[in-house]
Structure 1
């Protein structure tokens, strides 16, 4: 339902899971009603509405037969082929289509019959980026593709060896992208919730774009997740009822969405020590990665705003060790938990404001060393043009509490590989790595000295954002891809996998959003039946589990949202004072106009029909909108 009031815009939208359930039911109904054979199949492009380079192919055979599907590439080595097991009813995902093209899809039955069908695609979603440059070979990639998740004004996408986009999401699923054991992707929800980039939760998504589950969290989702052996999910979150953020993680039941266990980083040690240049009392730790290590039954966490990687016991949550520059840390912590460098100290560097920590199978620690500031002392901070970022691997001895740097890549490239934020590393095997520097920014050809490249102006020709992804094997660069935007992480994946590539059935929305904090004190105001001025551009978007109030307001004005009926009222204070953003890990939700303000209100905690009013300075205005909460 969409309509515009004279001054206030209102829209009611269904959850994407609901829309996808309806789309799947529609094409399955059509399939049930039509006679579809392998030489005259039903083909539905973009079946789940958000992945335009995919399709679903549906047909029946009298006897169980296997089916091999091939999407023809621009050359034969760019073909995407998948063989599906024998069946009589075939509902097959088609992956790896090209944009704006009559893609030829070949169908071959195990009995030898062959046919082809045309899958016609349109253009890419507006913010999908095209590869600037790629250096690799099809032999090295072996049919794999490089996927990236967005951090700037871009969208998740996947690119083949030739740099062609063969997979593209039209919704901004954010932060980390990991393949689950069942072959689906685990990605942050596209539903923005709280500034600067927290989203409602984590989504499990098929390669065709179907949301199998959204796991909503009361503290929302940020940065990273890890799938446990039993399928349950470690997810980074926080508690919005206190003054700090990004310092908690939870274990979520894969089937129910229930929170099974919580770890609180706050309280492990003092928050105001070991500060990086981006530290604040609000975002003191800034946890941006989680990794579970089975041999030690421990969790490794990356704290950007203390230049520290910590390891805690999975069961007790107690500290095991801390990896980072000991400068600025209390002596008692350094003596008990920090490592002493050994080996070639001339080529040893600590990591600073790191991302993407992981533990290798033999117990080494890897991360992307952003190098932001590259010192614990302000007087020694480096300018970005003189700095470097890198992937690094450390060997640690927890008995002797010693650390040795055994590999790095990126320092030698200087400012041209420098990302002060985001990024990741992957360890495929000893001496085979991926290093993704996704937050490079230039002004007039030099590394930007702005706090973060997310704030660069894409309309300014002197500003440039770039992402560079490199794979190194035996110290030889085997893959390098340049993209003209910021990308949070990169992952090399196949389009198809060994699990169920086309699970059918209704997607689910699990967990819950926390009750939105209310404000007890409502100022005395003059109430008017007139709606607010059109200048404010107020918009209300209602969903099944929340609604969003947004508009344009001058900094420092008094702004409150009021929900009222004859029995009760709910009042929400909306800050119009900008909080300094020392970490904008996903700038996708940034508004071009910094006066644009929004508030998401969960429907949890109250019910009824409420008139929506808004206080702007000394007046309370009627919007003419009513919200129904079941």
Structure 2
């Protein structure tokens, strides 16, 4: 057969099977405090985590310590009393004989050694970490992917103490129950539209997988009642990144949908320098403000942050440069008042509402003008974190804080990045998309120039307290966002049991026109390096074609036909907030088809230029 076929069992199911095997082994064996069962990376995706299992005759609390390379680097956590102990071990070093102490409450101590594999090439290379243990203590700075390096956590010394080996993308956020929420590693379509989000323990166990019909991109937000705001889109429409949905935390049901075309006219917005007709808004953040019952979205491609009423979807206000906007929208803009410096933000990311109602964001500053005649080159530009005070009574705005302008192009990121508010005067500013071409800030995305030796990428994460820099982490590569989190939390650090998959895939958009053609009864040639990966809810066709070839994937069942056009043209990206899935070889294509909306067993055929070829593969939906 010319086409390689693989069935991929879901990660949730594989983890459930592995956990059951571990628990069965614990029950069948005689694992005690002195002779525990130790499983390194039991859930497959976190090579710097382990689980230690044993039983005690009496209920007792247990403390786990992963000894640091120096005293301050020790990671520890005390678990509630029990007789059966299934304890997550977090903060292991890579390529190291880790010493782990187990201590019974007011009792004896036992030591085990856990040897880990060397860190992979997917771990970002440290340039420097400038901070102290007394500032960061046992928290880590986590960075999430924008290029090929994967999600990683650094301690105060710059040592890697947490890492995922699958491309879970976009922001890592801690939920109220202590788990983290992050995008899945299942790509729906390029460049970075994912199937949904994972709720995951720090060990790497997926508690819940939420599948979103329109896919997931960029950001999500947990409401006080646990329900989730998730950025998505209508996969059947001609526009992208302009929808948000409210997802029921328990069922995965979509409770409410906001379409940004309901409060802005895409044909009338004032465009950023990266605007396209398809990606007219480019939403990269969502924030819910309980005090005003409103949502704030960050529209990169209109250089604006837009606030709407949660219930009605009515537009409340817009923060951004009003130049070139039509008159009908000007009442929604703020007028700057300043006794000092003021700059508008451009192509911003990661809007945040502070407790007193101020608005923060990362001002990427790309082009730094609405007027095409006044736009500037990246090497002459700056990026920064910024905080604005707004008055919605008189529609005025003041700039009350910024960090980054003074650093010029060394801190400039034309894409991605975030700010975090901890308390008054205490902020994180993450410039994760620094890209150079030679000595100057690059005008092109590094993901599209991966093998060019002139390209250099960096990510700089800074924390300031009362305007004093308390931490600066610099690593090679680009990273979408940064977060500061502890490895352990006060609730259940390893919920056991079957992982849950919620929600559903949407119907994949089909070609408007089918090509009337009979099969030539020949197999697709091996020169196309074709492969099909099937999952329980979709399948993905991968192959290599030359630019300009006509290619259409066909599903056929008697007279029923479904056609999916595959573009072989080089794709221009006006925004590439995550280049993790971009192939170095532009000839390689990937086309995923969801099983939703299909019923029965289909023959998979492929049209290439003027022939329809057989693959010999059937897909049952």
Per the normalisation by structure 2, the TM-score is: 0.98
Counterpart check, 1:19 vs 2:14: yes
Matches within 5 A, 1:375-414: 375-414=369-408
SS in 1 for 2:157: coil
Counterpart check, 1:136 vs 2:131: yes
228, 236, 239: which one aligns with 1:233: 228
For residue 206 of structure 2, what is the aligned residue in structure 1? 211
For residue 355 of structure 2, what is the aligned residue in structure 1? 361
- The C-alpha deviation readout for 1:516-549, integer Å capped at 9, x for no partner, is 1223533243522222222211110011110001
Deviation, 1:299, is: 0.5
SS in 2 for 1:311: strand
Once residues 468 and 621 of structure 1 are traced to their aligned partners in structure 2, the CA distance between those partners, rounded to angstroms, is: 50
For residue 303 of structure 1, what is the aligned residue in structure 2? 299
For residue 456 of structure 1, what is the aligned residue in structure 2? 449
For residue 625 of structure 1, what is the aligned residue in structure 2? 617
Deviation, 1:461, is: 2.7
Matches within 5 A, 1:162-241: 162-241=157-236
CA RMSD, 1 decimal: 1.2
154, 159, 163: which one aligns with 1:159: 154
Once residues 567 and 609 of structure 1 are traced to their aligned partners in structure 2, the CA distance between those partners, rounded to angstroms, is: 13
Contact 2:126–2:475, Cα closer than 8 Å, also in 1: yes
Once residues 124 and 29 of structure 1 are traced to their aligned partners in structure 2, the CA distance between those partners, rounded to angstroms, is: 30
Contact 2:235–2:508, Cα closer than 8 Å, also in 1: no
SS in 2 for 1:21: helix
SS in 1 for 2:382: coil
Once residues 449 and 406 of structure 1 are traced to their aligned partners in structure 2, the CA distance between those partners, rounded to angstroms, is: 30
For residue 411 of structure 2, what is the aligned residue in structure 1? 417
Contact 2:434–2:441, Cα closer than 8 Å, also in 1: yes
- The C-alpha deviation readout for 1:110-143, integer Å capped at 9, x for no partner, is 1311101111111224312121111000000021
544, 549, 559: which one aligns with 2:541: 549
Counterpart check, 1:525 vs 2:521: no
Contact 1:201–1:216, Cα closer than 8 Å, also in 2: yes
Once residues 628 and 318 of structure 1 are traced to their aligned partners in structure 2, the CA distance between those partners, rounded to angstroms, is: 44
Matches within 5 A, 1:76-91: 76-91=71-86
Once residues 126 and 34 of structure 1 are traced to their aligned partners in structure 2, the CA distance between those partners, rounded to angstroms, is: 37
SS in 1 for 2:262: coil
Deviation, 1:378, is: 1.0
Contact 1:548–1:601, Cα closer than 8 Å, also in 2: yes
Once residues 144 and 165 of structure 1 are traced to their aligned partners in structure 2, the CA distance between those partners, rounded to angstroms, is: 12
Deviation, 1:569, is: 2.9
Contact 2:98–2:115, Cα closer than 8 Å, also in 1: yes
Deviation, 1:567, is: 5.6
Contact 1:353–1:371, Cα closer than 8 Å, also in 2: yes
Counterpart check, 1:480 vs 2:476: no
Contact 1:456–1:464, Cα closer than 8 Å, also in 2: no
Once residues 273 and 559 of structure 2 are traced to their aligned partners in structure 1, the CA distance between those partners, rounded to angstroms, is: 50
Counterpart check, 1:275 vs 2:267: no
SS in 2 for 1:344: coil
Matches within 5 A, 1:291-330: 291-330=287-326
For residue 583 of structure 1, what is the aligned residue in structure 2? 575
Indicate how the Cα distance of structure 1 residues 367 and 289 shifts in structure 2: closer, same or farther if over 3 A, else same: same
Contact 1:441–1:456, Cα closer than 8 Å, also in 2: no
Deviation, 1:274, is: 1.1
Deviation, 1:515, is: 1.2
Contact 2:67–2:100, Cα closer than 8 Å, also in 1: yes
| 5+ long unaligned stretches in structure 1 | none
Once residues 286 and 116 of structure 2 are traced to their aligned partners in structure 1, the CA distance between those partners, rounded to angstroms, is: 38
Per the normalisation by structure 1, the TM-score is: 0.97
Once residues 539 and 398 of structure 2 are traced to their aligned partners in structure 1, the CA distance between those partners, rounded to angstroms, is: 51
Once residues 145 and 508 of structure 2 are traced to their aligned partners in structure 1, the CA distance between those partners, rounded to angstroms, is: 27
For residue 117 of structure 1, what is the aligned residue in structure 2? 112
Contact 2:447–2:582, Cα closer than 8 Å, also in 1: no
592, 600, 612: which one aligns with 2:604: 612
Once residues 606 and 448 of structure 2 are traced to their aligned partners in structure 1, the CA distance between those partners, rounded to angstroms, is: 31
For residue 499 of structure 1, what is the aligned residue in structure 2? 491
For residue 263 of structure 1, what is the aligned residue in structure 2? 258
For residue 56 of structure 1, what is the aligned residue in structure 2? 51
Contact 1:395–1:405, Cα closer than 8 Å, also in 2: yes
Deviation, 1:332, is: 2.7
329, 342, 350: which one aligns with 1:348: 342
Contact 1:410–1:417, Cα closer than 8 Å, also in 2: yes
SS in 2 for 1:30: helix
Contact 1:56–1:92, Cα closer than 8 Å, also in 2: yes
Contact 1:526–1:618, Cα closer than 8 Å, also in 2: no
Once residues 448 and 403 of structure 2 are traced to their aligned partners in structure 1, the CA distance between those partners, rounded to angstroms, is: 27
Contact 2:286–2:298, Cα closer than 8 Å, also in 1: yes
91, 97, 102: which one aligns with 1:102: 97
Once residues 480 and 52 of structure 1 are traced to their aligned partners in structure 2, the CA distance between those partners, rounded to angstroms, is: 26
Deviation, 1:623, is: 1.0
Deviation, 1:279, is: 0.7
Indicate how the Cα distance of structure 1 residues 186 and 355 shifts in structure 2: closer, same or farther if over 3 A, else same: same
Contact 2:236–2:508, Cα closer than 8 Å, also in 1: no
SS in 2 for 1:17: helix
